[in-house]
Chain A
């Protein structure tokens, strides 16, 4: 079933998302301020979700989506907690 077109598309997708993760890592290391690093981490989570979705397509089973949903949840909570800490000096007041 898995034809040549989809194989090439998956190869391109994995390569593009891996390169995107490397670029995010560069921003995470270099980023002048903590808010840049928060943004880089948030984008890394988004790209990791993309890789999980592509892995689900390549693997052919639908069990990866719980992982994607959990990662989306934890990434969002983490971003909000980091931003809240910068804003208020406290996460839960």
Chain B
């Protein structure tokens, strides 16, 4: 039995070190990589692999201490695995939107606008008079489209 405990302790410790290492590497990537699209890589790996390993280590540790399998960790990791790609996608969309507005300089210049028939949410003009609407032509385009409706 003590052999089992030692093996479980090693396993939990290894998972904790792995997870914390991934979180550190992800944050290092957030600091080091040159552009936002590249910077998105690091933290997404940290949230899936890093926290996944930490939570698996926690499950094993509580099984060793209390002798029962806990499900809170599964809930947390499931929620994180579902939401991490969504938030990364939202940040990338916001970045693309600002690139198209010319608010930030892109590495390859301002991207081309999508076609007129495109219904891609990021390129619908922001509401007039709201802070997102600071490009003059876009405001006019929105007014024209609203009037034609």
Q: CB within 8 Å of B: which residues of A?
A: 1, 3, 5-6, 8-10, 12-14, 16-17, 19-21, 23-24, 26-27, 32-36, 38-40, 42-43, 46-47, 49-50, 53-54, 56-57, 60, 62, 65-66, 68-69, 72-73, 76, 79-80, 82-90, 93
Contact mask for chain B residues 87-108; partner A; CB cutoff 8 A; 1 contact, 0 none: 1001101110110000110000
Query: Interface size of B by Cβ–Cβ distance < 8 Å?
Result: 66
Q: How far is the CA of A8 from the CA of B12 in the complex (A)?
A: 12
What's the nearest-Cβ distance from chain B to residue A17, in Å? 6
Q: Report yes or no: A40 in contact with B65, Cβ–Cβ below 8 A.
A: no
- Knowing A16-B21, A62-B72, A89-B126 touch, does A39 contact B65 (C-beta < 8 A)? no
Interface contact tally, CB-CB below 8 A = 195
Contact mask for chain B residues 24-35; partner A; CB cutoff 8 A; 1 contact, 0 none: 101110110000
Q: Report yes or no: A6 in contact with B126, Cβ–Cβ below 8 A.
A: no
A-B contact pairs, 26 of them (CB 8 A): A3-B9, A9-B16, A12-B17, A16-B23, A19-B27, A23-B31, A27-B39, A32-B104, A33-B98, A39-B36, A40-B30, A43-B43, A46-B50, A49-B80, A54-B16, A69-B79, A72-B80, A79-B90, A80-B86, A82-B94, A86-B94, A87-B122, A88-B126, A88-B130, A89-B132, A90-B132
